[in-house]
Amino acid sequence: MTLHLAIALDGDSFAAGDWTTPVRQADEARLDFVTFQDSFGGRRPDAVQVAALVAPLTRHVGLVPVATTTHTEPFHLSTALATLDHVSRGRAGWQVRVSADPAEADLLGRRAPLGFDDLFAEAADVIEVVRRLWDSWEDDAIIKDVATGRFIDREKLHYIDFAGAYFSVKGPSIVPRPPQGQPVVAALAHDERVWSRLDVDVYFVTPADADQAAKIVRRLPGKKVFADLVVGGRAPADAAVFTGTTARLADLIAAWSGSGIAGFRLRPGEDYGVAAITSELVPELRRRGLFTPSPHQRLRERLGLPQAVNRYQEVARA
């Protein structure tokens, strides 16, 4: 069984090379995607902007930044991520995150921190609105009709008319539909309290071993499940930690491959960084037949996700 491979990038550097170098290494190794860590209150570069920086410098690897739903307007999220998908030619994704940190809430002073249920109810609404906005332009809405002076067919732009407990959004978007239709939406979920709450395509989970990974996969039918694995040591960690040689790491990945997971998201540590993953581990996994680079450019296709059907276009044709 061939697995998908991803790398989680984390850091607070504002030096461009500290981001472009590892992403280029992942791109050259033909990994499926990289994720970019972020938090609303941290002193670090904005993850979506970092992904936009590296997009023109890469050709294959998917780009999945973290962006919080708690303090960010869904309209702004939609346009930023749609733009990233255009810039990367269909390689964008989004890792959803909530924030329960009172210090982050204090930065805005808009409201008190939300409890668990409200945080994820709001996140679910944000995902729904973002997905509707991505569909609010039909694929052929841009007509560039010189004779009539029309750039857009207004009949192919749609109001989303969303009204919920936390916000209301009329739409349509101000950015044309992304090349993927729907960029890949992902979330880190440590337990089942999150699994049923969010409409995402990919879950990052943190099993301790292959048996636990298999149990999680059975609880998430129809989802792409990636097991997070810290490599090279990092303490404290919320996921399984591996220290050892490349051969032993490949052995562990082989042992987990039968659990039903779609792949691994590797979190590089101090002793086993992106260079080691791409130059040592990837060739070993390819030799063992555990990883085969995808020929597809668009991230949805790389991950074997179905084509995204435009909900409004289908209604208009009915």
Percent above pLDDT 90 for the chain:
81
pLDDT digits (tens, 9 = 90+) for 270-316: 889 999 999 999 999 999 999 999 999 999 999 999 999 999 986 65
Asked whether residue 231 is assigned to any structural domain, the reply reads: yes
Asked whether residue 217 is assigned to any structural domain, the reply reads: yes
193 neighbors 115 (Cβ within 8 angstroms) = no
First to last CA, the chain: 41
Alpha carbons within 13 A on the beta-carbon side of 94: 30
Tokens of 235: 């303490």
Q: What is the bridge-based pairing of β-strands 150-152 and 162-163?
A: unpaired
Confidence of residue 192 (pLDDT cuts 50, 70, 90): confident
Asked whether residue 122 is assigned to any structural domain, the reply reads: no
Asked whether residue 302 is assigned to any structural domain, the reply reads: yes
Domains in the chain, number: 1
pLDDT of residue 7: 98
pLDDT of residue 31: 98
Asked whether residue 133 is assigned to any structural domain, the reply reads: no
Of 21-35, 223-237, 298-312, least confident by mean pLDDT is 223-237
**Judging by beta carbons within 10 Å of its beta carbon (0-12, 13-18, 19+), is residue 233 exposed, middle or buried?**
middle
Q: CA of 68: how far to CAs of 5, 121, 266, 270, in Å? A: 24, 13, 22, 27
C-alpha span between 51 and 14 (Å, rounded): 13
The mean per-residue pLDDT over the stretch 257-282 comes to 96
Q: Is the confidence at residue 235, as pLDDT, over 70?
A: no
Q: Is the confidence at residue 111, as pLDDT, over 90?
A: no
The mean per-residue pLDDT over the stretch 77-102 comes to 96
Asked whether residue 230 is assigned to any structural domain, the reply reads: yes
The mean per-residue pLDDT over the stretch 204-228 comes to 95
pLDDT digits (tens, 9 = 90+) for 43-82: 899 999 999 999 999 999 999 999 999 989 999 999 999 9
Q: What is the domain range of residue 71? A: 4-99+181-317
Closest CA to 260 of 300, 304, 211, 189: 211
- Which stretches of 10-140 are assigned E, i.e. beta strand? 33-36, 62-68, 93-97
Q: What is the CATH number of the domain that holds 81?
A: 3.20.20.30
Q: Is the confidence at residue 318, as pLDDT, over 80?
A: no
Q: Is the confidence at residue 161, as pLDDT, over 70?
A: yes
pLDDT of residue 314: 65
C-alpha span between 32 and 63 (Å, rounded): 9
Who has greater pLDDT, 129 or 144? 129
Three-class secondary structure of residue 17 per DSSP: helix
